[in-house]
Amino acid sequence: MTRSATADLAGTPVVLATRSAGKLNELLPLLARLGVRVVTLADLGLPEEQGEDALEMYDTFEENALAKARYFAERTGLVVLADDSGLVVDALDGRPGVHSKRWSGRPDLTGVALDDENNALLQRALRAAAAAGQVSRVARYECAAACVWPGVSARDDESVRNGDPRTSRGERVVRAQTAGTVLEEARGTGGFGYDPYFLSDDLGATFAEVSRDDKAGVSHRGRAFHALLLDPLVRAVVQATVPDDGTAHVSHTRAQ
């Protein structure tokens, strides 16, 4: 991408498109370490609109991440980062997968209460699977991280709808994962979602037992955003938002 194609981005922020407190707690320091200047939806005063939850209606993490990034890019006219992630359990045929956040079917709950319901359902499902002979508790967290930038109406672009989203003009999406095992009992008080039950193969501890930085070093989300920001075109777009004084940059350090 040439300087002339991105000159109008200079000094504009990159939007981190999530309303999840847990994701913000992890991603804001991670992106800061990578030198990416971001603002949140709250920073922009962008009210939540009815139907935002319906953006995650697709069957893959990539499609859901792109849907969120496209939506907020159109609302803000800015470069947008977004993700979709979830827990994939072998013995449950990949569930809860893209439905991880709302697997328990409790739209009336949020935060810790919703996490508790989802984890209770996870344990019941694994016990039922074990009773049917599927005793494995092997699982992985998966994350798709997406970047969409202005200048392309992605929603109306046939090449985007019908082509490979990883090569479509105006957007990129990458996917990463981290392996582990689902424990029968929770361990630790940090993290969010399924973290207290997810024993990381890399760390030998649950994601709820380790520091935020240690988790970010091996997590699905940390790996996905590292990989996304190593994409040459994404790096060019993000660097184009940096003020002329060069006070920020994108790190070239690879995720583990």
The set of catalytic residues is 84
CB 193 within 8 A of CB 96: no
Closest CA to 20 of 193, 252, 202, 220: 193
Q: In what order do the strands lie in the sheet with 14-16?
A: 38-40, 14-16, 79-89, 138-148, 171-182, 198-200
Q: DSSP secondary-structure letter at 51?
A: T
Taking CA atoms, 13 is separated from 80, 89, 95, 147, 184, in Å, by 9, 37, 36, 13, 43
Q: 242 by DSSP, 3-state: which?
A: coil
Count H helices, E strands: the chain?
Answer: 8, 6
What distance in Å separates the CA atoms of residue 99 and residue 139, rounded to the nearest whole number?
A: 15
Q: Write down how long the chain is.
A: 256
